[in-house]
Amino acid sequence: MEDWHETEIRVRYAETDKMGIVHHSNYLIWFESGRSELCRARGFSYKEMEENDNALMVVAESYCRYKSPAYYEDVLIIRTRVAEVRSRSIRFIYEIFRPSDGTLLAEGETLHLVTDQNKKVRLIPEMYKDRLLAEPQPEVQAFPANQAPH
């Protein structure tokens, strides 16, 4: 569970405040983006969990520590990993950094309870537990990197 999943984003103008700095509320949205992409990389989506298995990941706790500002047009990396999977909860950890100068901008975590559609806490279906705890699979490319097909 030590492997980080990385998601790249570019700061949009609408995400900045009057001072030209990214508004603090966007970091939790970016955490969600990183979390969703990590799940997709592990072979499932939130939608699949909800529609096929009546399992919803409800945010029970969130934490973000802001370390340095981000600005419009910055390219950022959201690093996400699974910290803990228990019978009814999942904890994710995040880092957001700017690769152009190596600055760590924020770090945080979220705790999710798994519920059914009636908001009753339930066991996490084994399939999702297994996928979250599994080692990420390397991305398969149809052609070697930087090489067009002949």
- Distance spanning both ends of the chain, measured CA to CA: 39
The answer for residues whose C-beta is within 8 angstroms of residue 103's C-beta and 6 or more apart is 67, 68, 97
CB 5 within 8 A of CB 81: yes
Token digits for 103? 């600055």
H or E segment to which residue 31 belongs:
helix 25-41
Residue holding tokens 């084994």? 126
What does DSSP say about strands 103-115 and 89-98: parallel, antiparallel, or unpaired? antiparallel
Token digits for 30? 């970016």
CB 109 within 8 A of CB 34: no
Residues acting as catalytic residues: 17
Helices 126-133/46-53 angle, 10° precision: 160
